[in-house]
A and B are shown apart, each in its own frame.
Chain A
Amino acid sequence: MNLLQKLFPNIDDWSELGRACIDTLLMLGGSLLLTVLIGLPLGVLLYLTSKGQLRPMPKLYAITSLLVNILRSVPFIILMIVLMPVTYFLVGTKLGIRGAIPPLVIGAAPFFARLVETALREVQQGVIEASQAMGASLWQIVRHVLLPEARGGIFAGITVTAIALVGYTAMGGAIGSGGLGDLAYRYGYLSYKSDYMLVTVALLIVLVQLLQMIGDRIVARYSRR
């Protein structure tokens, strides 16, 4: 304890750091889950309705694509502020983990949808043709051909999205969502306690490393080329 005190003189409550860690993980887990649940169908929709694919619908594609691009071009910190009324409407608060999740999902889902669309484009056209020749319906093709064949790319997309979400949650700390970003900002930046900054950054690096390792494992497991 003495050593810790010497190295990090300003950190008097380590349990606060622990709580912040858990908050960050909860925000990450919750928003990642919802991002995948929303982004995956959105990515499939983008893919199916794009030109030359199974259900080309130029207008629907153009609208969806524009919406996705708009959400992707707003910097996350701005998006979070702009969305505050929506957040309040959805979860009844603008603060804390619950308040952080709607903007995180709305920021990350369009990004993930694009990654899904790209992964689906990698599926060989011939395989889709073969399943059509076997009498597969559109839903069967999506469920049994496109998603399984693209799952390596989709898992890679989930990894990239998860890591982007770690960055977003840290940003969220600046406007009251809690977590490691909040600590780094409040103690580290506003109160000049640089040891807080150091520890939170180190924890975030470890988290990102872990996510990348797990993601790579899963991608390797499911890529059969």
Chain B
Amino acid sequence: MIRFVDVHKSYRVDGRDIPALQPFSLDIADGEVFGIIGLSGAGKSTLIRLINLLERPSGGDIFINDIEMTVLAEPALRAQRRKIGMIFQHFNLLASQTVADNVAFPLRLAGERDAAALRARVDELLARVGLSAHADKYPSQLSGGQKQRVGIARALANRPSILLCDEATSALDPQTTASVLELLAEINRELKLTIVLITHEMDVVRRVCDRVAVLDAGVIVERGAVADVFLHPQHATTRRFVNEALPEEAASELTPFAQVPGRILRMSFRGDTTLTPALGRVARETGIDFNILAGRIDRIKDLPYGQLTLAMQGEHVEAALAALRGAGIEIEELHR
């Protein structure tokens, strides 16, 4: 469990305090994948570094598994840091060392000297990230995705309970991003590791996170389960991020619905309701007509969801809406 209590952070620049993070409290549960999304400069990079104290808070307390981090002396802090893995946007591998030595590095730092034990653990880690064949290469000989996999193997070496991901996929192309995210999800499932990731892409949050906090100019403006935040964003910043992930949807909201006959509704399906033919059944039963204007069916992590914007007309629209709500579909009216 990661717990922030009334934590805030400001930087001293030319004798003035520039606030980076306004006071906030936040709990991140064991085993969850927690996303922090924000534009550059929003403070997400500072926030994630507070967890392993690469940045010290200006005030407030940070607890990790009930250990108060801010009061630890240097050696105790180093011991705690070994239990928190971290991966980076630019990988930050040792260019002078082979892949195997990079992965062995945190083990050596922790005092492991036995060559056979090192070798065995490194082999195991490289196998997990699918790089067994590249053990003796140097980082400069690898692609971006492979470098990040080395970063992940290195971060897992000391069997941490927490993995911090600092824009881990921002320097990667979309396909590589997908495979790295898949690997992170797999690690979270199999090792029961808590993952905290920061990103500026809603799509990253949608694919792997359980919960998300939206950071805007040093303030957490919205937080909750990804499905809630994604399907019903409240804050303007959140809506902007969500719309980036849903280009069609964004476009459709700009369409002059006034010219479309009927009532304009947005329906959100989640989980099992996505898979039932509720809309067709209700339309048949109540005799309404509907016209789909925009829509998307996808997954939020493992949860299937659908979101349709449609125009509905007919005598029994109210009855139809009631029936749809009864079937577990969330409905918002965009225009009447």
* CA A53 to CA B106, docked complex, whole Å: 22
**Chain A 116-159 near chain B by CB (<8 Å), digits 1 or 0:** 00000000101101111111110010001100110100000000
- Flag if B54 contacts A133 (CB, 8 Å): yes
Whether A148 contacts B106 by the Cβ 8 Å rule is: no
Are the C-beta atoms of B109 and A130 separated by less than 8 Å?
no
Q: How far is the CA of A137 from the CA of B84 in the complex (A)?
A: 16
- Whether B96 sits at the interface, judged by CB under 8 Å, is yes
The distance from the CB of B50 to the nearest CB of chain A, in whole angstroms, is 12
| In the complex, A59 has a CB within 8 A of chain B | no
CB <8 Å contact, B86 and A133: yes
- A132 vs B106: C-alpha distance in the bound complex, in angstroms? 10
Q: Is the CB of A149 within 8 A of B109?
A: no
A144 proximity list for chain B (CB < 8 A):
105, 108-109
* A contact residues around B290 at 8 Å (CB): none
Interface of chain A: mostly helix, strand, loop or mixed: helix
Given contacts A126-B90, A131-B109, A136-B109, contact A222 B82 (CB under 8 A): no
Residue B327 is within 8 A (CB to CB) of chain A in the complex: no
Q: How far is the CB of A224 from chain B (nearest CB, A)?
A: 5
Are A135 and B106 neighbours in the complex by a CB distance under 8 Å?
yes
Q: Are A127 and B110 in contact (CB under 8 A)?
A: no
Asked whether, in the complex, the Cβ of A149 is within 8 Å of the Cβ of B88, the reply is no
> Does B81 count as interface, using CB distance less than 8 angstroms?
yes
Q: Which residues of the partner chain A approach B90 to less than 8 Å between Cβ atoms?
A: 124, 126
Q: Known: A126-B88, A225-B140. Contact between A149 and B81, CB under 8 A?
A: no
Interface size class of A (residues with CB under 8 A): 20 to 34
Query: Is residue B257 within 8 Å, beta carbon to beta carbon, of the partner chain?
Result: no
| Residue B78 at the chain A interface, CB threshold 8 Å | yes
Bound form: Cα–Cα A125–B164 in Å: 18
Complexed CA–CA distance, A130 and B158 (Å): 14
Find out whether the CB atom of A149 lies under 8 angstroms from the CB atom of B95: yes
Q: What's the Cα separation between A126 and B109 when bound, in Å?
A: 17
Query: B133-171 interface mask toward A, CB cutoff 8 Å, 1 = contact, 0 = none?
Result: 000001110000000000000100010000010000000
- A133 engages B78 (CB within 8 Å): no
Residues 173-225 of A contacting B (Cβ, < 8 Å) = 222, 224-225
Interface majority SS (helix, strand, loop, mixed), chain B: mixed
B94 & A137 in contact (Cβ 8 Å cutoff): no
> Contact at B138–A127, with CB atoms within 8 Å?
no
* Residues in B31-90 with C-beta less than 8 Å from chain A: 52, 54, 74, 78-82, 84, 86, 88, 90
Contact of B138 with A224 in the complex, beta carbons under 8 Å: yes
Q: Are A151 and B82 in contact (CB under 8 A)?
A: no
- How many angstroms from the CA of A222 to the CA of B140 in the assembled complex? 13
A135:B92 contact, CB within 8 angstroms: no
Q: Is the CB of B95 within 8 A of A132?
A: no
Residue of B nearest to A145 (CB): B94
A225 cross-chain contacts in B, Cβ below 8 A = 95, 140
Evaluate contact between B81 and A134: CB separation under 8 angstroms.
yes
A68 to B95 CA separation, bound complex (whole angstroms): 30
Given the known interface contacts A132-B54, A133-B84, A136-B109, the answer about A148 and B94 at a Cβ–Cβ threshold of 8 Å is yes
What's the Cα separation between A148 and B140 when bound, in Å?
15
Chain B residues with Cβ under 8 A from A222's Cβ? 96
Given A133-B54, A144-B109, A225-B140; A127-B82 close (CB under 8 Å): no
Q: Are A130 and B88 in contact (CB under 8 A)?
A: yes
B138: chain A residues at CB < 8 Å are 224
* Chain B, residue nearest A130 (CB): B92
Answer whether residue B179 sits at the interface, using C-beta atoms and an 8 A cutoff: no
CB–CB A137/B108 < 8 A: no
Given contacts A135-B110, A144-B109, A224-B138, whether A129 and B81 have CB atoms under 8 Å apart is no
Question: How far is B164's CA from A35's CA once the two chains are assembled, in angstroms?
Answer: 43
CB-based nearest B residue for A127:
B92
Cα(A126)–Cα(B139), bound, Å:
15
In the complex, chain B residues whose CB is within 8 Å of the CB of A149: 94-96
Most interface-central of A135, A136, A149, A225 (chain B CB within 10 A): A135
User: Chain A nearest CB: distance from B106 CB in Å?
Assistant: 4
Minimum CB–CB distance from A48 to chain B (whole Å) comes to 16
Known: A130-B86, A224-B138, A224-B140. A135 touches B79 (CB 8 A): yes
- Which residues of A are in contact with B by a Cβ distance under 8 Å? 124, 126-127, 129-137, 140, 144-145, 148-149, 151, 222, 224-225
- Closest 6 pairs (CB-CB, A-B): A130-B92, A135-B81, A126-B92, A135-B78, A135-B82, A133-B86
| Contacts A130-B88, A144-B109 supplied; 12 other A-B pairs, CB < 8 Å | A127-B95, A131-B105, A133-B54, A134-B81, A134-B86, A134-B106, A134-B154, A134-B158, A135-B110, A140-B109, A224-B140, A225-B140
Point out residues on B near A: beta carbons under 8 Å.
52, 54, 74, 78-82, 84, 86, 88, 90, 92-97, 105-106, 108-110, 138-140, 154, 158, 164
17 A–B pairs (Cβ distance < 8 Å), ordered by A: A127-B93, A127-B95, A130-B93, A131-B105, A133-B52, A133-B86, A134-B86, A134-B109, A134-B158, A135-B78, A135-B109, A136-B78, A137-B74, A144-B109, A151-B96, A224-B96, A224-B138
